[in-house]
A = this chain, B = another copy of it.
């Protein structure tokens, strides 16, 4: 099963999910956007040439990042999208909408207090988790039928 981990790139949530899945012996292939924030911002001008204007620097970078994320999103069996308090993560919500339109099962991960602001995204998901470990438990159940504990 291929699982795309979309969203916030500042905390270690992807590592916790990957470690949990490994510990549980799950056959999951995780993928993610480029999680090096500086590289993800600078890739456009580093590869396609410098831009004096920030908007076009961003456009070039976002294009390259989209080559990766679209390919992974379209190939994923399940998409997990993570939101937190600190960042607006509009691209996370964009990815969730993209997955929803494709009909790909969606798991949303966020602190419960964001629930109201994320109600439309949560409604499109098949599971809403507060902690990365719940995502692991969900994947284990989906793959093996085993409950936690």
Residues of chain A at the chain B interface (Cβ within 8 Å): 1, 34-36, 39-40, 42-43, 46-49, 53-56, 58-71, 74-75, 77-78, 83, 88-103, 105, 107, 112, 115-130, 134, 137-138, 141-143, 145-149
Number of copies: 8
Instruction: List B contacts of A67 (CB < 8 A).
Output: 78, 105, 107, 126-127, 138, 142
* Structural contact, A124 and B58, CB atoms closer than 8 A: no
Q: How far is the CA of A88 from the CA of B115 in the complex (A)?
A: 12
Which secondary structure dominates chain A's binding surface? helix
Q: Which of A40, A54, A93 has the most CB of B within 10 A?
A: A93
* Structural contact, A147 and B105, CB atoms closer than 8 A: no
Instruction: List B contacts of A55 (CB < 8 A).
Output: 112, 115, 122
List 27 interface pairs A-B (beta carbons < 8 Å), by A numbering. A34-B141, A39-B147, A43-B147, A46-B149, A48-B129, A48-B138, A53-B53, A55-B122, A56-B56, A59-B59, A62-B119, A62-B122, A63-B123, A63-B127, A65-B120, A66-B124, A68-B143, A75-B77, A90-B93, A90-B121, A91-B120, A91-B121, A94-B121, A95-B97, A96-B97, A97-B98, A103-B103
